[in-house]
Amino acid sequence: MKKFDKRSIVKNVGSSWLGLAVNVALGIVVSPYILHRLGDDAFGLWVLVFAITGYYGLFDFGIRSSVVRYVAKFHATNDQAELNKLISTSLVSYGTIGLLLLVVTAVGSLFVDKLFHVSPSYLGTAKILFLMVGTSLAINFPMGVFSGALEGLQKFYFINLTNIATTVTRCALIIYFLHRGCGLLTVAFITVSLPILNGVINAVNVFRSINLHISRDLVSRSTFKQIANYGSVTFMISVAQKLRFKTDALVIGTFLSSAAITHFAIGSRLVDYAGEVVSGLAQIFVPMSSQSDATGDRTNLRKIFVGGNRACAMITFPMTAILIILGKSIIEAWVGAKYIAQSYPVLLILVIPSTLMLAQSASGRILYGMARHKTWAYVVLAEGVGNLVLSVALVRPYGIVGDAIGTAIPLVCSMVFFLPLHMCRLLGIRLRTYLAEAFLLPLGLCVPMVLLLVWLQQKSAPHGLVQLGIRAALALIVYGVGVLWAVWTKRAWRVGDLSDETVSNAVAVGLVETYQQEEA
């Protein structure tokens, strides 16, 4: 079996985590600065408009995932002709979608004030902001072909380093112009302009990496059909993900106010940061599982499943403990004590189901790698619909806490009652074996850290960034000692017997064949 380039994996994952660290560090500094300079209404409007335009991603129709897959395939087989047709066809497809979105943006800007509760003093600003953000996203659609191509070439670090540079530039410009008295529209212009520059840089990197030829004559109907066939399932999951995590601001903006969005966003954003850390690791499991599936190495697939989720849990569990125990102090040090009362309950409600999801991040990537994600797509779509229905039903009587509960309940159901059972049946592993192998070690390593944090919290709660940083550093040092012990004794990498005999060869093979037929 072909070995993976460990150096490339380290560069891709390391640059992803570096980018996240920069985003978090700058977010800690810049987000409160923007919030206090703009005020709750303007900041809430900012979140609302970006939440609305975030649905533009649905118009991707799975094209980008197809670009990633087939660039990798055609580059590996040195099929330059098919690679040229793929990029040319994708650019035309995305260009057509971009033109459609320009029309949608122009029409939508006329009705922003009628669809959502926008303060009368911000009506004109809301329309201009919607036009500005929507136009930028429309332009960035065709530019997304090149970032997808870089991912297909396994050059995540190009994308990550470019993102880091533009993020630092964006934050510096925002601080500078806000300090000079500029307002929301200036911040928006800076924010939407730099991704376009980012796309140009990615395009240059693609042309430098491969001998690419783009032409209108290379646009192919058969290539488009190939893209559409693969992307349809991914599109379904994309729709579900929007319903899962992007409806909260819309529901709150519709039934409450833009200021309420701000309080919700503070709590939910802290959970999002934790998710981004795990995603930086989990992305590598797609090619790993694809390789094992292609070679028929079912035992290695099981090891990736168990070991990958164990690694995700070892990252997720300590972050969850810190957010639960130090959450109030984090919010106070980040944006101010007045946001604790409403934002911390949102954080607490969302962090538990999100932990269940993040600790199983490898599972979804393995389904992608095995091309067995159709059933999962239906489940995630049902979860997204349930999220929307429950959030709408609960937001009026219970406010933003009700919206958070509406998000949490379907997520818990899919992560507890479906995904682990589905994966264990698909791969032929006992559920008990999977849970013990994947999660007992990460839970055990967290115990000393949790005891320390609870003891320190009982003595005194930190109120400033310095005190909070010291408290978190002490906790992570204690956890790090446990991780080093696990690595030194090789317990972190050790996986028990996951061969077919674990559940009997006949049963395991039968389960796998049954599920493969269902997915097909």
As a whole number of angstroms, the distance between CA 269 and CA 266 comes to 5
Q: What is the pLDDT of residue 390?
A: 92
Q: Would you call 341 helix, strand, or coil by DSSP?
A: helix
Residues 519 and 488 in one domain: yes
Q: Which of 203, 232, 261 corresponds to the end of one domain?
A: 232
Cβ-Cβ contacts under 8 Å for 413 (sequence gap 6 or more): 383, 386
pLDDT class of 495 with cuts at 50, 70, 90: low
Q: From the CB of residue 510, how many other CB atoms can be counted at a distance below 10 Å?
A: 12
Residues 481 and 372 in one domain: yes
Please report how the helices 361-369 and 419-427 are oriented relative to each other, as an axis angle in degrees rounded to 10: 50
Residues 183 and 253 in one domain: no
pLDDT class of 504 with cuts at 50, 70, 90: very low
The count of domains in the chain is 2
Q: Which of 199, 232, 265 corresponds to the end of one domain?
A: 232
Residues 156 and 283 in one domain: no
Per the structure, the complete domain to which residue 482 belongs is given by: 247-520
Residues 368 and 429 in one domain: yes
Angle, CA 307 vertex, CA 304 and CA 308 arms, to 5°: 70
Interval 398-420: pLDDT, tens: 888 999 999 999 999 999 999 99
* DSSP code at position 285: H
Interval 322-375: pLDDT, tens: 999 998 988 888 888 888 888 899 999 999 999 999 999 989 888 877 777 788
Q: Whose structure tokens read 């035309």? A: 92
Domain annotation covers residue 238? no
Residues 286 and 386 in one domain: yes
Domain annotation covers residue 63? yes
Q: Does residue 54 surpass a pLDDT of 50?
A: yes
Q: What is the pLDDT of residue 76?
A: 67
Residues 228 and 251 in one domain: no
Residues 217 and 332 in one domain: no
- The letter for the amino acid at 271 is V
Q: Whose structure tokens read 């600790």? A: 359
pLDDT class of 255 with cuts at 50, 70, 90: confident
- The letter for the amino acid at 154 is Q
Domain annotation covers residue 305? yes
Cβ-Cβ contacts under 8 Å for 143 (sequence gap 6 or more): 195, 196, 198, 199, 200, 202, 203
Instruction: Supply the mean pLDDT for the chain.
Output: 80
Domain annotation covers residue 153? yes
> Are the CB atoms for 402 and 408 separated by under 8 Å?
no
As a whole number of angstroms, the distance between CA 235 and CA 400 comes to 29
Residues 260 and 214 in one domain: no
Q: Whose structure tokens read 């800076």? A: 190
Q: Which of 182, 208, 232 corresponds to the end of one domain?
A: 232
Residues 224 and 339 in one domain: no
> Are the CB atoms for 127 and 109 separated by under 8 Å?
yes
Of the candidates 337, 90, 318, 336, the one whose C-alpha atom is nearest the C-alpha of residue 225 is 90
More confident residue, 2 or 69: 69
More confident residue, 418 or 211: 418
As a whole number of angstroms, the distance between CA 259 and CA 363 comes to 37
Residues 178 and 297 in one domain: no
Among left, alpha and beta (phi > 0; psi -120 to 50; other), residue 181 is left
Residues 421 and 487 in one domain: yes
